[in-house]
Amino acid sequence: MATVTFDNATRQYPGNPKPSVDKLNIEIADGEFLVLVGPSGCGKSTSLRMLAGLEEVNGGRILIGDRDVTNLSPKDRDVAMVFQNYALYPHMSVADNMGFALKIAGVDKAEIRKRVEEAAKILDLTPYLDRKPKALSGGQRQRVAMGRAIVRSPQVFLMDEPLSNLDAKLRVQTRTQIASLQRRLGVTTVYVTHDQVEAMTMGDRVAVLKDGILQQCDSPRRMYDHPANVFVAGFIGSPAMNLMDVPVTDGGVDLHGHTVPVAREDLTNAGKHVTLGVRPEDLELSSDTSGIPVTVDVVEELGADAYIYGTAEQKLLEATGENAGDVPFIARVDGRRPPEKGEKIYLKPKPGHVHVFNAESGLRIGD
């Protein structure tokens, strides 16, 4: 068990003008489950591979516990990794796959057998220990890959999109299993995924990356309720948060005649308009024609709820009526009385559930 520290860790591929991971700073507590999430090409896998020692570090340091591992080879770092395609040795039995690291480390056979059997028991793999990986289902292979990491009892688990090759149902099950297994074993874990639902459900903390730069690192709850910038706001949450530019008015921001209160001191440097974010579930149907006018394109009925997919007018300045174009808009409404397709409805955000961002820098304004 150990903490993991990224200290200004940077990776720049030769011939690439921009670093793939740019001055990454994260401190991961002992036993913590940290999820690295972001769109493809954001540098999350590269960060993980830097920690594993599979990728060179061009600047900064990486520490495991108090040990500076920046220039250590992978085998000296005491980390175990679960790969996206599992990377099982096809010619070895399940037991040999799981025990390979211990065999190399010179652990005696009886001890290897014992630890492999323990891990197999945890993962329900006992009947398959003598099989070759090709004779296993996708889910079983995934568990063997987990087992291979577990038997080593390393200081850190590294997981690189381990669920992306499973079907949807199995992915949800395995998600919970991995999370609970990690809690039970208490091993510090860094988990990479592009799926924000995985990130939210599994991690103690979630780190969102974009273009090699860390956007925010927070607990899932905090990430959801207080996204640090427009990118995080739009990335976390499904369906995504509605984002639109709105004009600043006296005492708040103006939503087509409906004023959303924002503290004056927060808006002093914001300029004439700001970006407003509202989650689909934080919207109510307006009783009159104040609020955001939305033309309904599609209604998705999910039983208890219904999601409305529509387009909203984005009015920047009330006075001139300048129109910045339509933006897609999603709202959750009562499933029993959903609006009709093509209908024009007016939506108001619930008080206290709006996110305001600086329109230029994209940074969050206020709390």
Partner 1 sequence: MGVANPPRTASDAKAPKEQEPSPAPRGDRAVTAVSHIVLAIWSIIVILPLVWVFLSSWKTTGEIFKSPLALPQHWSFDNYIGAWTDSHIGRYMLNSVIVVTSALVIVMILGSAAAYSLARYPFPGSGVVYYFILAGLTFPIFLAIVPLFFVLKNVGLLNTLPGLIATYVAFAFPFTVFFLYPFFRALPQEIAEAAELDGAGEWRTFAQVMVPMARPGIVAIAIFNFLGLWNQFLLPIALNTNEDNYVLSQGMARFASQAGYAVDFGQLFAAVVITIVPVLAVYIFSQRQLQGSLSQGTLK
**In degrees rounded to 5, what are phi and psi of residue 135?**
-90, 15
Report the site for partner 1 in 300-339 (rule: CB under 8 A): none
Of the residues 8, 25, 71, 85, which one makes contact with partner 1 according to CB under 8 A: 85
216 touches 207 (CB < 8 A): yes
CB of 103 to partner 1, least distance (A): 9
Choose among 5, 27, 78, 8: nearest CA to 204.
27
CA-CA distance, 25 to 214, in Å (whole number)? 8
CB of 164 to partner 1, least distance (A): 13
According to the binding rule CB under 8 A, does residue 109 interact with partner 1?
no
Closest to 275 measured CA to CA, from 362, 366, 347: 362
Q: Considering the rule CB under 8 A, would residue 86 count as an interface residue with partner 1?
A: yes
Which one of 46-54, 190-198, 229-237, 307-315 is the stretch in contact with partner 1 (CB under 8 A)?
Answer: 46-54
Among positions 54, 172, 185, 285, the unique one binding partner 1 when judged by CB under 8 A: 54
Q: What is the DSSP string of 106-168?
A: T--HHHHHHHHHHHHHHTT-GGGTTS-GGGS-HHHHHHHHHHHHHTT--SEEEEESTTTTS-H
What would the x/- binding string for partner 1 be over residues 112 to 151, using CB under 8 A? --------------------xxx------x------x---
**Contact range with partner 1 by CB under 8 A, out of 29-37, 99-107, 120-128, 322-330:** 99-107
Q: How far is the CB of 145 from partner 1 (least distance, A)?
A: 9
Within 194-341, strands assigned E span 205-210, 213-218, 242-249, 252-255, 258-261, 273-278, 283-285, 292-301, 305-317, 322-334
Q: Which is nearer to partner 1, 96 or 281 (CB)?
A: 96
- Please work out, in degrees rounded to the nearest 5, the angle formed at the alpha carbon of residue 105 by the alpha carbons of 102 and 109: 50
From the CB of 194, what's the least distance to partner 1, in Å?
18
**DSSP-derived secondary structure for 325-359:** EEEEEEEEEETTSPPPTT-EEEEEEPTT-EEEEET
Helices 109-122 and 138-150: angle between axes, nearest 10 degrees: 130
Nearer to partner 1, 64 or 79 (CB): 79
Closer residue to partner 1 in complex, CB, 53/237:
53
Residue 111 is a binding residue for partner 1 (CB under 8 A)? no
Q: Which of 65, 74, 239, 338 binds partner 1 (CB under 8 A)?
A: 74
Cβ distance 357 to 365 under 8 Å?
yes
3-state secondary structure of 270: coil
Q: Does 87 bind partner 1 (CB under 8 A)?
A: yes
Sheet holding 59-64, edge to edge: 21-28, 4-11, 59-64, 67-68
The distance of closest approach from Cβ of residue 89 to partner 1 in the complex, given in angstroms and rounded to an integer, is 6
- Three-state DSSP class for residue 1: coil
The residue (of 101 and 185) whose beta carbon lies closer to partner 1 is 101
- Which residues lie below 8 Å from residue 327, measured CB to CB, with a gap of 6+? 242, 243, 244, 311, 312, 314
CB nearer to partner 1: pick between 139 and 349: 139
CB of 53 to partner 1, least distance (A): 8
Cβ of residue 106: shortest distance to partner 1, in angstroms? 10
Ordered alpha helix ranges (H), 213-336: 220-225, 230-235, 264-267
Q: Does 75 bind partner 1 (CB under 8 A)?
A: yes
Alpha carbon separation from 80 to 45, 261, 349 (Å, rounded): 15, 50, 46
By beta-carbon proximity to partner 1, the closer residue of 88 and 292 is 88
By CB under 8 A, the residues from 171 to 210 that bind partner 1 are none
Nearer to partner 1 by Cβ, of 13 and 89: the residue is 89
105 binds partner 1 (CB under 8 A): yes
Kindly tell me which of 12 and 84 has the beta carbon lying closer to partner 1.
84
Residues that bind partner 1 (CB under 8 A): 52-54, 73-75, 79-81, 83-91, 100-101, 104-105, 132-134, 141, 148, 152
